[in-house]
Structure 1
Amino acid sequence: MSTVIPKTGPVAYFSMDVAADSAIPTYSGGLGVLAGDMLRSAADLEISMVAISLLHRKGYFDQRLDSRGNQLESPSKWSPENHLTRLGPKVSLLLEGREVRISAWQYRFVGITGHTVPLIFLDTDLEENDAADRSFTDFLYGGDERYRLCQEAILGLGGVSMLRALGYGDIHMFHMNEGHSALATLALMEERDRQQSQYRLSDGEIEAVRRQCTFTTHTPVPAGHDRFSSELVWRVLGERRADVLKQLRVLNDSLNMTELALKFSGFVNGVSMRHGEVSRAMFPNHNIDAITNGVHAATWTSAPMAALFDRVIPDWRRDNCFLRYAIGIPLSEIRQAHAQAKRDLLHQVRWLTGSQLDEKVFTLGFARRATGYKRGDLLFTDLERLKRIARQVGPLQLIYAGKAHPRDDGGKAIIRRIFEAAAKLNGDVRVVYLENYDMALGQLLCSGVDVWLNTPLRPQEASGTSGMKAALNGVPSLSVLDGWWIEGHIEGVTGWSISDRDAENDSDAEAASLYDKLETAILPLYYKEPDRFARVMRSAIALNGSFFNTQRMISQYVRNAYQRAADPHQQFLG
């Protein structure tokens, strides 16, 4: 595949969190995992890319759950020295009138040909900084508004400075993964006007910056976009930078980081077809395209399924499109590979919880951030009906996982409600909740359950990628039609839908639809027609695994973003 992707100049990819490895807790969920998968595929496809993030010495947090589902948080424990290489250069950034020094660490993604993509972690934990400034790169998505703005300044402004200090003087494109790094656009404008005491950029110079920038938005609701008060911006960034933002008409009563990135990016995209539609309605004065997310196939395919692909489709790692040919794999071999993945998962469940689940029982999986719009407790709307389905149609067992943000009381309440439901279902439906969900656990869950459940409030699922990981492993989805599932869903072929796409959000009606699909379609197929169920498994791989991957995704970015945004003949709306 790499031979047909047009070559571009070097790309700098900015992301507040990146999942480089399960042992490096610098990610919280989907955004960081997507960033890591993007960089893994860039390495596989020999794309010239470097990434910038923050070190997050104390990670997101480690989660523990008590017997009632109360979430207990503690800082993640890890040592950068054991996983990363410290780099020599340091740069300075003025924050609140103080000079904050920034150092760097490096992780390298190694592709299938040996090509590497460096990930640069920025670190302020230096002796020359005061104690408060040293903590700026401690917690991912922690602290108050001031802490977050300082972090975003370090990522955007400090990130560009560090790239230059490391010798990356020829960056062709700056790609901002969400608005956290939007101040990188200000850094690029400053580079064009270093010598002037009064900041005055021509329209042509601003347009030149826009042609250097790509912005991917992941947030489908206005409340999710970072916004900082003008008073805080003036205090943290200083008078000169705040005045520039005001002149550029992005700082009024507040600074919206998404608006800043939108205004100064030549290419902007949402992360699914539906999310593109939602984003265009939210920001009607901007051109917003869509490039649907994907996952790194080799990372998320279980060992037994990968061994099957290696034998039957030997080029699948080099070119994920070959997964289309999974349609020719005998059903018995699909079942056998999945059965081993299921055993691996249930073995880990027993090790973590002491609960021994039955590998012959239909197993439903749900693992994602615990927050209101994800509706992790929708399945438990009618416990008596769920019991009746298990007794009359076929037994089922449920595996849950996911963290709630420390300040998300609603998300924490959902976890408690799942624990309460599990207690009431005891004896009829087995439910386990796995704590401290991370990449390693995600790999086991997505590959080892029988069906993957997703129940978001529409249109708040920008994309979702866990169902894509499941599809690679022959695990079909049962999902609300939102995000990527609108594109990946073929009823009874790649999985099943909950309600119709155009129906209004109605949790009771959607729960009823969920129960109907389990009772009349999925469980009868699983227990009475295993070959037909295996055909759905195989179709999920061939149709969805071959498309919803980061090889396809990054090739679209190269063609539609990196090349198109830099084209001097391309016109953009401001």
Structure 2
Amino acid sequence: MKAIRRFTVRPVLPEPLLPLSELARNLRWSWHTETRDLFQAVDPEGWQAAGGDPVRLLGSVSAARLAELTGDRRFLRRLAAVADDLDDYLHGRRWYQAHSGAPGDHDPEGSEFPTAVAYFSPEFGVTAALPQYSGGLGILAGDHLKAASDLGVPLIGVGLLYRHGYFRQSLSREGWQQEHYPLLDPNELPVSLLREPDGAPCQVSLALPGGRSLRAHIWMAQVGRVPLLMLDSDVEENGPGERDVTDRLYGGGSEHRLLQEMLLGIGGVRAVRAYCRLTGHPAPEVFHTNEGHAGFLGLERIRELGEPPERGGQDLDFDAALEAVRAGTVFTTHTPVPAGIDRFDRELVARHFGDRGELAGVPVEKVLQLGMETYPGGEPNLFNMAVMGLRLAQRANGVSTLHGAVSRGMFAGLWPGFDAAEVPITSVTNGVHAPTWVAPEVFRLGAGQIGASRAEDALSVGGSQRWDAVADIPDADIWELRRELREQLVLEVRERLRASWRQRGAGAAELGWIDGVLDPDVLTIGFARRVPSYKRLTLMLRDRDRLMELLLHPTRPVQIVVAGKAHPADDGGKRLVQELVKFADDPRVRHRIVFLPDYGMAMAQKLYPGCDVWLNNPLRPLEACGTSGMKAALNGCLNLSVLDGWWDEWFEPDFGWAIPTADGSATDDDRRDELEAGALYELIENRVAPRFYDRGAGGLPQRWIEMVRRTLTTLGPKVLAGRMVREYVERLYAPAARAHRSLNADTARELASWKGRVRVGWPHVAVDHVEALEQSAAGGTAELGSTLALRVRVALGALQPDDVEVQAVSGRVDSDDAIADAQAFPLKPAGGPDLEGRWVYEGPLSLDRTGPFGYTVRILPAHPLLATSADLGLVALPTEGTGEGAGVLMR
């Protein structure tokens, strides 16, 4: 019989064991080994059955076992120590509080750092026990929260609670991906419902067309010091369609996705306000939008500021509110291709806003303008979430140096007239939360060298001196550890492979061969990630005979562990999975290459440490960052990767290998894959495998071990999420907080009015004439160290010199006279206006480099509250015939 209703019966913990409840509800256990060990001691078999989830464990432990633990003085001492450690972690001063720019109790707004930051993301990968993620974006968001907690950054995470998560993956007998969506009961997850003082669930509501409402409860997960708020639309007051809005991550059609993103952005801001009201948490000064999915949060904040003071607003019109919102908003893009951005039909968005939908009183046309692709090549009838995110944020970044450059090129149309290098999108390279991803065995080896507390600091905060201690660990200890981790992976793979084949319909009698799958003494390569086409899951299969030779080499064999999920709607990705699975099913090689279904955090935490080499072969430059290789590196695994994402930034031949690329415009896709696959085989056969198997004294591969050392000492401090979050705080959050404070209601109105006046007047701004005075150059040449005195005549129309900056821009020029490595120098007003209303600007231009050299002049809007001179996307440049001296050549 099937139950008509399901609910969870929780045990009543005896008084001495009550701290177990708080320890289970704070997700710090997911990265704190001592806490996990404590729960394992409660019931070792139950811990295994619960999948390492303390909430599930406590829901199943017997009353007799609880009574037994109550009398176990040794266990109670351990419990007290772990509970005290959590209390110190939650309330002690950490990096943020100790920083000179941190908010103080006496004057929180006089600090450099924000009093609080709200961090919005559509997915969060905190732990396998809370499956609310699909891939790298979610894992990055989870690591961001954990690192913020370790550093003491006052962050509030905001996301959605998906009742079916992403999906669980299995394989058919033919190797075709199959999706399963098990129902997640929040009462069985490590979350709690945010409640009003009277005990009623706290609720947010959105207005929908036709007089309908979308209501959501707020579930809270405690990620160390950081609260994570997750909105859940499975509320009884909702209609069937509205209840299903948060059913699946990245599921449904366009309207379904739009409602998810409205709930995340608009509902998320309302959830933050409710949380701060109920808990007394400081209100965020900075809002961080992790990808465009949460972009609507800016519109809700504009609506708030438009409310009258008696309702908590500042009575600002749309344009003034927009300036105030932009000042305190940070936008991070993770997308290297336009196809990866959510775009909605213009009419669909219009239907959900305005007086008949959400944000009544906010002009629909103003909303639409924020997302319209009003640039060459844009689609006029599509609403682009990333474009809106950029227009609503004064500060934006990509997630690696290369990705920042790609993003500046991809979004350059929003800043016409500016070179791509001047587009105001910077970069903060991603990092990973080392305490989550470093194997306990690796941590113990480091702790034995420098002590447990210093090792914890090295993983969470960084510091190259702590990582340098790896140099003193004996070669034999490193190699013994690497073999131990490889052996653990072999056992894990066999267990998962056997379970997969049973799901595929195989009987136990067919699976004896699995006991011989993989060898703990064979070079092991890992490849695990999502399966879009650009990540090229099957590049390794390009020449199958050559791959077989590598796998079956008599003295230098290779074994490969592969995992990954294709999006449920991506049949092309599913075909790639099937192609790889069929190859791995071949009896000739199935002991050397395996595909493991249902890739997730639990699998990854075994996979990264157990591999010797981490393979990544995307189409360059389509990998925004690629953090899986970072997690592998922290465990002493060497990277073998295309120079893309973070590897392009930090690769050195001392600790890994770069796969040569053939990404020139003249190379077609098929030929490019053939060339790059050949380069991959060549590297493995002639560089990677020989170094692994080249054994010296004591049977140790000393050159390989040295590469492992260099990986840890050089990459270790760089790839940390702690380093990443510190950069966000210092480079983006702190400036955003200062800008937010500088824009009160009056200054926001003044700035909006000034921008409106500049936009209206800009068509009449022009560079009228440029000349170089006292020019010693003759015949188009000049001497190094000489100076040109520039005189420029400009038209400003109704604008004044205080509204603009006139600049000379100079640098080396190429054969097309394009200026490279440009430097800008302001020119000063020297007279005007004349009878024609022209102004004269003058200034020196130093000729400080040899070779072909050129300059130009431009006019930019200028205001003290602008974050960058490109803020408005307006620039006036000389036209042909403007005057002499438009370019100078010197030798």
Residue in structure 2 matching 1:236, options 346, 352, 355: 352
SS at match of 1:497: strand
Preserved contact between residue 364 and residue 396 of structure 1 (Cα < 8 Å):
yes
Matched, 1:185 2:346: no
The aligned counterpart of 1:333 is 477
The aligned counterpart of 2:449 is 312
Q: Deviations over 1:72-116 (max 9, x none)?
A: 101034321122111112111112341111110111111xxxxx1
Q: Deviations over 1:160-181 (max 9, x none)?
A: 0111122256211000110000
Equivalent pairs, count:
567
SS at match of 2:648: helix
The aligned counterpart of 1:347 is 491
The code of the aligned residue for 2:692 comes to Y
Tell which structure's C-alpha radius of gyration is larger: 2
The code of the aligned residue for 2:867 comes to Q
Q: Deviations over 1:234-268 (max 9, x none)?
A: 22334555615347443452211101110111210
In structure 2, C-alpha distance between the alignment counterparts of 1:245 and 1:337, rounded to whole Å: 60
Matched, 1:388 2:571: no
Q: How does 1:489-508 map to 2 (within 5 A)?
A: 489-491=651-653, 493-500=654-661, 506-508=672-674
The aligned counterpart of 1:113 is none
The aligned counterpart of 1:360 is 521
Greater CA drift, 281-290 or 333-342: 333-342
Residue in structure 1 matching 2:611, options 446, 449, 456: 449
Moved over 4 A (4+): 238-242, 246-249, 500-505
In structure 1, C-alpha distance between the alignment counterparts of 2:438 and 2:662, rounded to whole Å: 29
In structure 2, C-alpha distance between the alignment counterparts of 1:340 and 1:365, rounded to whole Å: 16
More RCO (CA 8 Å, sep 6+): 1
Greater CA drift, 381-390 or 522-531: 381-390
Greater CA drift, 227-236 or 150-159: 227-236
Preserved contact between residue 691 and residue 704 of structure 2 (Cα < 8 Å):
yes
In structure 1, C-alpha distance between the alignment counterparts of 2:230 and 2:523, rounded to whole Å: 42
Preserved contact between residue 368 and residue 383 of structure 2 (Cα < 8 Å):
no
Say if 1:5 and 1:429 are closer, same or farther in 2 by CA, change over 3 A.
farther
Residue in structure 1 matching 2:627, options 458, 462, 465: 465
The code of the aligned residue for 1:316 comes to A
The code of the aligned residue for 2:399 comes to V
Residue in structure 1 matching 2:366, options 236, 245, 250: 245
Greater CA drift, 202-211 or 344-353: 202-211
Deviation at 1:313, TM superposition (A): 3.2
Matched, 1:221 2:387: no
The aligned counterpart of 1:512 is 678
Deviation at 1:448, TM superposition (A): 0.4
In structure 2, C-alpha distance between the alignment counterparts of 1:246 and 1:108, rounded to whole Å: 34
In structure 2, C-alpha distance between the alignment counterparts of 1:425 and 1:273, rounded to whole Å: 44
Residue in structure 1 matching 2:141, options 7, 30, 35: 35
Deviation at 1:500, TM superposition (A): 4.7
In structure 1, C-alpha distance between the alignment counterparts of 2:544 and 2:368, rounded to whole Å: 58
Preserved contact between residue 331 and residue 538 of structure 1 (Cα < 8 Å):
no
For normalisation by structure 1, the TM-score amounts to 0.94
The aligned counterpart of 2:192 is 85
The code of the aligned residue for 1:221 comes to V
In structure 1, C-alpha distance between the alignment counterparts of 2:473 and 2:614, rounded to whole Å: 22
Say if 1:202 and 1:422 are closer, same or farther in 2 by CA, change over 3 A.
closer
In structure 1, C-alpha distance between the alignment counterparts of 2:531 and 2:182, rounded to whole Å: 19
Q: Deviations over 1:427-485 (max 9, x none)?
A: 48621111111101011111101100001011110001000000000001111110011
In structure 2, C-alpha distance between the alignment counterparts of 1:249 and 1:557, rounded to whole Å: 25
The aligned counterpart of 1:547 is 718
Matched, 1:172 2:285: yes
The aligned counterpart of 2:389 is 261
The code of the aligned residue for 2:259 comes to C
Deviation at 1:328, TM superposition (A): 3.1
The aligned counterpart of 2:121 is 15
Deviation at 1:320, TM superposition (A): 2.4
In structure 2, C-alpha distance between the alignment counterparts of 1:250 and 1:257, rounded to whole Å: 6
The RMSD of aligned alpha carbons is 2.1
Deviation at 1:324, TM superposition (A): 3.9
SS at match of 2:553: helix
Matched, 1:563 2:734: yes
Greater CA drift, 330-339 or 475-484: 330-339
The code of the aligned residue for 2:140 comes to L
Greater CA drift, 281-290 or 204-213: 204-213
Residue in structure 1 matching 2:436, options 283, 299, 303: 299
The code of the aligned residue for 2:431 comes to G
The code of the aligned residue for 1:15 comes to S
Deviation at 1:392, TM superposition (A): 5.4
Q: Deviations over 1:514-534 (max 9, x none)?
A: 011111111011111411111
Greater CA drift, 322-331 or 147-156: 322-331
The code of the aligned residue for 2:731 comes to N
In structure 1, C-alpha distance between the alignment counterparts of 2:704 and 2:473, rounded to whole Å: 14
Preserved contact between residue 121 and residue 159 of structure 2 (Cα < 8 Å):
yes
In structure 2, C-alpha distance between the alignment counterparts of 1:123 and 1:435, rounded to whole Å: 28
Say if 1:561 and 1:465 are closer, same or farther in 2 by CA, change over 3 A.
same
Preserved contact between residue 60 and residue 76 of structure 1 (Cα < 8 Å):
no
Say if 1:495 and 1:100 are closer, same or farther in 2 by CA, change over 3 A.
same
Q: How does 1:476-495 map to 2 (within 5 A)?
A: 476-491=638-653, 493-495=654-656
The aligned counterpart of 2:258 is 149
Say if 1:500 and 1:331 are closer, same or farther in 2 by CA, change over 3 A.
farther
In structure 2, C-alpha distance between the alignment counterparts of 1:179 and 1:304, rounded to whole Å: 39
Identical positions, percent? 39
In structure 2, C-alpha distance between the alignment counterparts of 1:202 and 1:56, rounded to whole Å: 33
Q: Deviations over 1:539-565 (max 9, x none)?
A: 111111221110000000000111112
Greater CA drift, 95-104 or 253-262: 95-104
In structure 1, C-alpha distance between the alignment counterparts of 2:597 and 2:687, rounded to whole Å: 31
The aligned counterpart of 1:405 is 567
SS at match of 2:455: coil
In structure 2, C-alpha distance between the alignment counterparts of 1:435 and 1:534, rounded to whole Å: 31
Say if 1:548 and 1:5 are closer, same or farther in 2 by CA, change over 3 A.
farther
The code of the aligned residue for 1:538 comes to R
Q: Deviations over 1:245-298 (max 9, x none)?
A: 347443452211101110111210000000000000011224100000000011
Deviation at 1:388, TM superposition (A): 2.6
In structure 1, C-alpha distance between the alignment counterparts of 2:728 and 2:445, rounded to whole Å: 30
Q: Deviations over 1:46-78 (max 9, x none)?
A: 110110000001000010112332011010343
Say if 1:93 and 1:428 are closer, same or farther in 2 by CA, change over 3 A.
closer
Greater CA drift, 460-469 or 421-430: 421-430
SS at match of 2:241: helix
In structure 2, C-alpha distance between the alignment counterparts of 1:471 and 1:425, rounded to whole Å: 32
In structure 2, C-alpha distance between the alignment counterparts of 1:416 and 1:473, rounded to whole Å: 30
The aligned counterpart of 2:247 is 138
Deviation at 1:215, TM superposition (A): 0.6
The aligned counterpart of 2:747 is none
Residue in structure 2 matching 1:118, options 227, 245, 269: 227
Matched, 1:105 2:242: no
In structure 2, C-alpha distance between the alignment counterparts of 1:14 and 1:249, rounded to whole Å: 19
Deviation at 1:195, TM superposition (A): 4.1
Matched, 1:430 2:596: no
The aligned counterpart of 1:290 is 427
Deviation at 1:406, TM superposition (A): 0.2
Deviation at 1:351, TM superposition (A): 1.1
The aligned counterpart of 2:156 is 50
SS at match of 2:170: strand
SS at match of 1:104: strand
Say if 1:242 and 1:203 are closer, same or farther in 2 by CA, change over 3 A.
closer
